Amino acid sequence: MPRETKAQTLARTGKILTALKALYPDAHCALHHQDPLQLLVATILSAQCTDVRVNMITPMLFKKYPTAQALAAAEQADIETVIKSTGFFRSKAKAIKQTATDIVEKFDGRVPQTMEELTSLRGVGRKTANVVLGNAFNQNVGVVVDTHVGRLARRLGLSQHDDPVKVEQDLMELVPQADWTLLSHLLIFHGRQICGARNPQCHACKLNKLCPSAFTESNPKNAP
């Protein structure tokens, strides 16, 4: 694919977004939750862990600790026991307990609704805040950049960066703000179903004519 102008990249991004919306009309947050606190905790647990595994653990966790007050008062070791199978359980349990404590002490037990307030919580970074704001509060403040989103943004020629913050900035410049939250879900769905890390299925990809990386990786199945 020849070098693009910014206008051409914007136009191609629009076509990519339209195609993804058609392919995944039901794209949504894969972490099961019933309120902002549950989504916040589930997102913390999802680091280096599959959403499927997190969804297996959270019902038990939230039954035992249904509120921020309950999580803040819990023994860290008890939280660790419940979440152990998600990996890195000690650091995650510490983050959950600290975050819940901050919510109780600073925000009267309610998950805050701004980027500045969310990222003031111990254990919460911009990515986690974006997940909560976009999916619990319907606020398109930024783009969630996980491994799938970063990989596809680079393959699709929407960003050249490895740094998630820089990838997010690139995507925010190319995609209308109203679609920022949805974009992450669309790219994650496509990454899981078609554009895998090790075996991208370019031959079956509806975006291959819009993708500068199509058929370029060392996979015999990708031959045109």
Phi, psi (rounded to 5 degrees) for 120: -80, -15
Mean pLDDT throughout 42-57? 97
The pTM (predicted TM-score) of the whole model is: 0.92
Instruction: Give percent of the chain with pLDDT exceeding 70.
Output: 96
Show the domains of the chain with their CATH numbers. Answer: 6-27+143-214 (1.10.1670.10), 36-136 (1.10.340.30)
pLDDT, tens digit, for every residue of 78-130? 999 999 999 999 999 999 999 999 999 999 999 999 999 999 999 999 999 99
Confidence tier at 2 by pLDDT (50, 70, 90):
low
With a cut of 90, say whether residue 224 has pLDDT above it: no
With a cut of 50, say whether residue 218 has pLDDT above it: no
Find the catalytic residue in 97, 102, 127, 170.
127
| Length of the chain in terms of residues written | 224
The reply to whether 162 belongs to the active site is no
Find the catalytic residue in 146, 166, 179, 206.
146
pLDDT, tens digit, for every residue of 155-170? 999 999 999 999 999 9
pLDDT, tens digit, for every residue of 140-150? 999 999 999 99
The reply to whether 170 belongs to the active site is no
DSSP 4: P
SS3 percent helix, strand, coil of the chain, rounded to 5, is 60, 0, 40
pLDDT, tens digit, for every residue of 173-217? 999 999 999 999 999 999 999 999 999 999 999 999 999 999 986
